[in-house]
Structure 1
Amino acid sequence: MEYVDGGTLETALARGGTFSEERLATVAREVLEGLAYLHARNIAHRDIKPANILVTSDGRVKIADFGVSKLMCRTLEACNSYVGTCAYMSPERFDPDAYGGNYNGFAADIWSLGLTLFELFVGHFPFLQAGQRPDWVTLMCAICFADPPTLPHTASAKFRNFVDCCLKKESAERWSAAQLLTHPFVCHDPKTS
């Protein structure tokens, strides 16, 4: 395996504080390229979070920890095990009947990416106050019954819309990795504006 010496996005957040939108656009694009590759091969990662995204010495990011990834069948069958990190699980993971009927690992990866980018922007997990460490039931209730979190007004309209496309409660309404790669937030080149 390739050695990646820059740590994870989680450690980068702890060391350097929140990420700029320019940096987040790059992170989003690189993670989406990885997810698009996986999803095109019917593989759902199922545990996207800051601790599972590695940073290279030149600042690129790579998806890591495929321990709970799954090869999805053509029917996108329900996964009967609760694997992954519950804080980053999508609403349909907890309650498939209420949020889309079936668990879709690809849409769940997008939900987790949205939460990850949100966390890197504000500096703490989106459904909680800074420093709060709730139990599994608190997280499940927040994810399933609360409205999706919204970015502060300091975020640009493009970034807010991008995160909104990731954090749709209904799994069928979330954009796919391929669709998100066309979103203006990740397509925008700040050097040309």
Structure 2
Amino acid sequence: MAFRREKRNHQPLKLPLPTQTLALEIHHKFLLPSPDSHPLPPSLDSPPGIQALSDLKKLEVIGHGNGGTVYKVQHRWTSEVFALKVLRLGPDAAAGSQQANREADILKQVDSPFVVRCHGVFNGDDGDICFLMELMDRGSLHDVLRARQRLPEKLISYVAWRVLEGLRYLHGLLVVHRDIKPSNLLINDRWEVKIADFGSSRVVERNAHCSSYVGTFAYMSPERFDPDRCEGSYNGFAGDVWALGVVLLECHVGHFPLISVGQRPDWATLMCAICFGDPPEVPDTASPEFGNFVRRCLEKDWTRRATVQDLLNHPFVERSEGWTNDFDE
């Protein structure tokens, strides 16, 4: 269940992206224990004094998604504010609980300044599962694009650096995110960009290939969209790199870059563009460094695609270090 801050109609990019999850898992072997082998943990590392949902007061709704809602909440005794992500399991409660357990298992391992922090997981009313998260009160990169349409390269470089550092950390834990997109890159009041939403994520064995069809179609790499092209298996980490390349090119051109503006982004159109179309063109307005960076991300052959470490050493990203950014500039 990929939680999204944006509505299903992706208005600023003219792209109502489909986000349904298709459970086509093939021969996965995860390092995490089966979600059926233990109950949902009541908390991860809850702030002092937060023992139950009753310790929190809902202030406002800050996001909606497929099967869930995010609230801004306040601790009743300390006045500290958080985000509370509430997942409603719906009619297929067993599958929803299994997915939420997988997400909770991943969040228990994660502690990075480049990933949105989870403070605890609670069982809510009517079987809801609630994630108490760090509040990212500047919204998402999707919100920034909706307001500004395009971003300068200096800011894109900063976004690239932060996301790559987050991916380096996650991949070091053998976590494949599988749903990198603007609405899953959140921004706090210090203008820090962090990776969020692990509803589509998996833990894999080192150097293992995996097959899956989970996430947001428009940001899937060719080998994820059409696993037959690589005989049904691939390195999942390479798919996160492809998705980042699409996001950064989107930040530069101001619209979803893999199809023409106004073109209907249905499954067949996306399939043809991602799997069989020419690689997207980088505009002449882009610097040579940015153009090369994006092309290395969007290499259709995943075996030739740049790795996260390759990209962290790229000249385009190195320019971002030490820069104090402001998305309102």
TM range (shorter): over 0.9
3-state SS in 2 of match to 1:4: coil
Post-superposition offset of 1:19: 0.5
String of CA shifts for 1:16-71, please: whole Å, max 9, x gaps: 22010000000000000000001111110000001110011222200011101010
* Aligned position for 1:46: 178
Alignment of 1:79-98 (within 5 A): 79=211, 81-98=212-229
Residue 168 in 1 paired to residue 296 in 2?
no
* Aligned position for 2:164: 32
Unaligned runs of 5+ in 1: none
Post-superposition offset of 1:78: 2.2
Structure with more contact order per residue of length (Cα contacts < 8 Å, sep ≥ 6) = 1
Residue 2 in 1 paired to residue 134 in 2?
yes
Does the 8 Å CA contact 1:44/1:69 hold for their aligned counterparts? yes
Q: Which has the higher helix share?
A: 1
Post-superposition offset of 1:147: 1.4
Does the 8 Å CA contact 1:100/1:170 hold for their aligned counterparts? no
Does the 8 Å CA contact 2:185/2:193 hold for their aligned counterparts? yes
Aligned counterpart in structure 2 of residue 121 of structure 1, from 245, 248, 252: 252
3-state SS in 2 of match to 1:173: coil
Give distance in 2, aligned partners of 1:190 and 1:68. Answer: 30
Structure exhibiting the larger radius of gyration computed from Cα positions: 2
CA distance 1:144–1:121, change in 2 (3 Å): same
Does the 8 Å CA contact 1:47/1:85 hold for their aligned counterparts? yes
Post-superposition offset of 1:75: 4.3
Does the 8 Å CA contact 1:42/1:73 hold for their aligned counterparts? yes
Over the matched positions of the two proteins, sequence identity in percent amounts to 53
Alignment of 1:96-175 (within 5 A): 96-99=227-230, 102-175=233-306
Give distance in 2, aligned partners of 1:48 and 1:10. Answer: 12
Post-superposition offset of 1:191: 8.5
TM-score w.r.t. the length of structure 1 is 0.93
Does the 8 Å CA contact 1:124/1:131 hold for their aligned counterparts? no
* Aligned position for 1:16: 148
Q: Which has the higher strand share?
A: 2
3-state SS in 2 of match to 1:58: coil
Does the 8 Å CA contact 2:149/2:255 hold for their aligned counterparts? no
Count residues in correspondence. 191
Partner AA of 1:103 in structure 2: Y
Unaligned runs of 5+ in 2: 1-132, 324-329
Does the 8 Å CA contact 1:43/1:70 hold for their aligned counterparts? yes
Give distance in 1, aligned partners of 2:322 and 2:293. Answer: 20
Does the 8 Å CA contact 2:242/2:297 hold for their aligned counterparts? yes
